[in-house]
Amino acid sequence: MSISSPTRRRVLIVEDDALVALGIKLTVQELGFEVVGIAASEPEAVGLADAQRPDLALMDIRLRGPIDGIDTARRLRSEFNIRSIYLSAYADEQTLSRVAQTYPLGFVQKPYSAPQLRAALELAMRRLHQPGEAGPR
């Protein structure tokens, strides 16, 4: 990997489709990141975030249960200061407007490629570990 800092590189995957989540996990691990867990719903994501304190979350927009990924990302940020990169097939104007309000680290549209995911993760890690780059709280 091209990131040379000694910072942690821990990722939480929030995805309700188990097969898709497994594919993301394998890709993320191949890219040199540690996957701290996979959550399919907001309560699972909050529990894993609290227990594992990942550096960031890879967030799908459609999740299991009544709370979507955008509101889940907002909660992870407000309660744990965990930022998100969205991985989603949903990219309509209304959805992207809601996404923007959560100050995401990135948005990768499904289907994605490993190089796209690598670029998003590397840019996100750089932003997270640079002074003054955290964005509004």
Domain containing 17 — which CATH number? 3.40.50.2300
Reduced to 3 states (helix: H, G, I; strand: E, B; else coil), residue 11 is strand
Q: Considering the entire predicted model, what is its pTM?
A: 0.88
Mean pLDDT to the nearest integer, 31-49: 97
Q: Is residue 102 part of a domain?
A: yes
Q: Is residue 110 part of a domain?
A: yes
Q: Is residue 2 part of a domain?
A: no
Domain of 115 in residue numbering reads as 10-125
Confidence of residue 51 (pLDDT cuts 50, 70, 90): very high
Confidence of residue 7 (pLDDT cuts 50, 70, 90): low
Q: What is the pLDDT of residue 13?
A: 98
Q: Is residue 34 part of a domain?
A: yes
30 Rama class: left (phi>0) / alpha (psi -120 to 50) / beta? alpha
Structure-token pair, residue 79: 């309660």
Q: Is residue 137 part of a domain?
A: no
Q: Is residue 40 part of a domain?
A: yes
In the predicted model, is pLDDT for residue 135 greater than 80?
A: no
Reduced to 3 states (helix: H, G, I; strand: E, B; else coil), residue 6 is coil
Q: What is the pLDDT of residue 39?
A: 98
Domains: count for the chain = 1
Instruction: Identify the burial level of 133 via C-beta atoms within 10 angstroms of its C-beta, where 0-12 means exposed, 13-18 middle and 19 or more buried.
Output: exposed
The residue ranges of DSSP E strands in 1-137, in sequence order, are 10-14, 34-39, 56-59, 83-88, 106-109
In the predicted model, is pLDDT for residue 123 greater than 70?
A: yes
98 Rama class: left (phi>0) / alpha (psi -120 to 50) / beta? alpha
In the predicted model, is pLDDT for residue 1 greater than 90?
A: no
Q: What percent of the chain lies above the pLDDT cut of 90?
A: 80
Work out the angle at residue 55's Cα, subtended by the Cα atoms of residues 54 and 57, and round it to the nearest 5 degrees.
75
